[in-house]
Amino acid sequence: MASLTEEHFTQEQIFAILRKINHPLDKPNVLPEPTLETRRELNYRCMTSIPFELLSLRATKSRCVDLSLEAICDRIINKNRGGWCFSLNKFACELLRGVGCRMQYTLGCVCKPLRYGDPIVYMGLSHRLTIVRLPDDSKWVFDIGFGPTSFYPLTLEDGFEVEYFGHRRRITTAIYSEEEPHVLGHPAEELWQVQEYMGEDKDGEKWKPCYGFTERQYHAVNCDMGNFWCSLSPNSPFHGELWVFNATQDGHCNVLINEMFKGSIESINIETEQQRQDILKKYFGIELTEEEWTYYDIKIE
């Protein structure tokens, strides 16, 4: 399960991935050029082909997400599953590398409140993302592992905003721990912060922060540590949770969180396990295998 060495996709795997995500190719045996448009298309195709899901936590013996590139690729290509930020954005990073992009992955701190009215608190290094650098030296966030609405990249430019299918995201700068004393004589750390438009709340706020990050370089072992904590710590927001998200090519989102499902057409309060399994099959194309069912630990009794 460890991923302490860097791994890369073969060209054969890259073409298999492009077929899986329905990425159009001008020529069947020629990879797309590493342009901004290619990055946008890859982001969109990944988001609309690969679900965010926690079934590795709920329906495997290990209760942990396997970050080996072989396991990630097998899960997505052969098993019709997805993953979460540590696996999906490793997958994305190596896909970008495979088509010739210049990029670096980094880690960020999730700060999106789970419930309305919760305080904004930065968790540890609990999110992986990729920063892509273009020939003009502009830098873009490529992230397919944070919910179902991150369809296109965001440029690292304070106030940059993008809207797609009615979903709005922007990137701003923010100060991390600005109320902490500068014990070591360093200034408060400035972060890039990705925000999502949620509509005006009771305090007049319209934008909710998702996560903050810097351009600092991290390594595979740092990702393994974050993945391990998010998978197995009782303090992880994913502890005991079942989340499955996906997006359609016309921008609709399906969200299953424990015993609640919300789609573009209907919302369902789930009352039985069979009902939940039917939703997984109908909206996400997921059917638990016999082995997964053996380890599935969140059955509705």
The pLDDT profile of the chain, 301 residues, written as one tens digit per residue, is 445 557 899 999 999 999 999 999 988 889 999 999 999 999 999 999 999 999 999 999 999 999 999 999 999 999 999 999 999 999 999 999 999 999 999 999 998 877 666 777 888 899 999 999 999 999 999 999 998 888 999 999 999 999 988 889 999 999 876 555 566 677 778 899 999 998 776 666 789 899 999 999 999 999 999 999 999 999 999 999 999 999 999 999 999 999 999 998 889 999 999 999 999 999 999 999 999 999 999 999 8
Neighbours of 47 (CB within 10 A): 30
Residue 3 falls inside a structural domain: no
The domain that holds 240 is classified in CATH as 3.30.2140.20
Residue 6 falls inside a structural domain: no
Q: Quick one: tokens of 166?
A: 């009615």
Q: What is the longest distance spanned by two Cα atoms in the chain?
A: 58
CA atoms of 189 and 208, how far apart (whole Å) = 20
* Residue 300, helix vs strand vs coil: coil
Specify the pTM. Answer: 0.92
Q: Where are the beta strands (DSSP E) in the chain?
A: 52-53, 102-110, 127-133, 139-142, 154-155, 160-164, 167-176, 189-197, 207-213, 243-247, 253-257, 260-262, 267-269
Residue 2 falls inside a structural domain: no
Residue 4 falls inside a structural domain: no
Neighbours of 20 (CB within 10 A): 17
Residue 267 falls inside a structural domain: yes
Distances 242 to 36, 63, 110, 119 between C-alpha atoms, Å:
34, 12, 18, 23
Residue 1's pLDDT is 47
Number of domains within the chain = 1
Sign of CA dihedral 21, 218, 169, 145: positive
Residue 200 falls inside a structural domain: yes
Residue 228 falls inside a structural domain: yes
Residue 199's pLDDT is 77
Residue 133 falls inside a structural domain: yes
Helix, strand, coil shares of the chain as percentages rounded to 5? Answer: 25, 25, 50
Q: Quick one: tokens of 264?
A: 């573009």
Range of the domain at 130: 11-295
